[in-house]
Amino acid sequence: MIYKKYGKTGKDISVIGFGGMRFPKVNGEYDYDKCAEFVVKANELGVNYFDTAPGYCDDHSEKIMAHAFKMMKNPFYVSTKCSERDGTKLRKTLETSLKRMNLEKINFFHIWCILDIDDYRSRMVKGGAYETALKAKEEGLIEHITFSTHCSGDEIETIVNEGCFEGMTVGYNIINFPFRQKGLKAAYEKGLGIATMNPLGGGLIPQKADYFDFIRGADDKTVVDAAIKFNASHDEITTVLCGMGSMEEVIQNCKIGNSLVKLDENKLKEIEKRLFSSMDKLCTGCRYCEHCPKGIPVSKFMLSYNNHILGDTKGIYDYLRYHWGINYKQANECISCGLCERKCTQHLPIISRLKETYEWGTEY
Rank residues 43 and 176 by Cβ distance to ligand SF4 and give the closer one.
176
Rank residues 233 and 299 by Cβ distance to ligand SF4 and give the closer one.
299
Rank residues 46 and 349 by Cβ distance to ligand SF4 and give the closer one.
349
CB of 295 to ligand SF4, least distance (A): 8
CA atoms within 13 A on the CB side of 129: 25
Rank residues 264 and 359 by Cβ distance to ligand SF4 and give the closer one.
359
Report which secondary-structure segment, H or E, holds 278: helix 265-278
User: What is the C-alpha separation between 267 and 52, in angstroms, rounded?
Assistant: 33
Rank residues 146 and 330 by Cβ distance to ligand SF4 and give the closer one.
330
CB of 336 to ligand SF4, least distance (A): 5
User: What is the C-alpha separation between 24 and 175, in angstroms, rounded?
Assistant: 25
User: What is the C-alpha separation between 268 and 212, in angstroms, rounded?
Assistant: 14
Give me the amino acid identity at 15: V
Rank residues 238 and 284 by Cβ distance to ligand SF4 and give the closer one.
284
Rank residues 217 and 349 by Cβ distance to ligand SF4 and give the closer one.
349
CA R_g for the chain? 20
CB of 291 to ligand SF4, least distance (A): 8
CB of 257 to ligand SF4, least distance (A): 27
CB of 22 to ligand SF4, least distance (A): 16
CB of 342 to ligand SF4, least distance (A): 9
Check if the beta carbon of residue 178 is closer than 8 Å to that of residue 154.
no
CB of 1 to ligand SF4, least distance (A): 31
Q: Which residues contact 59 (CB under 8 A, 6 or more apart)?
A: none
Q: Which residues contact 107 (CB under 8 A, 6 or more apart)?
A: 11, 77, 78, 79, 143, 144
User: What is the C-alpha separation between 214 and 209, in angstroms, rounded?
Assistant: 9
Name the DSSP class of 171.
E
Please report, as ranges, the residues that interact with ligand SF4 according to CB under 6 A.
283-289, 292-294, 296, 298-299, 302, 334-340, 343-346, 348, 350-351, 354
Rank residues 93 and 304 by Cβ distance to ligand SF4 and give the closer one.
304
User: What is the C-alpha separation between 182 and 289, in angstroms, rounded?
Assistant: 23
Rank residues 144 and 343 by Cβ distance to ligand SF4 and give the closer one.
343
Name the DSSP class of 51.
E
Give me the amino acid identity at 33: D
CB of 323 to ligand SF4, least distance (A): 15
Nearest Cα to 307, choosing from 356, 243, 242, 345?
Answer: 356
User: What is the C-alpha separation between 303 and 121, in angstroms, rounded?
Assistant: 31
Burial class (CB in 10 A: 0-12, 13-18, 19+), 295: exposed
CB of 207 to ligand SF4, least distance (A): 14
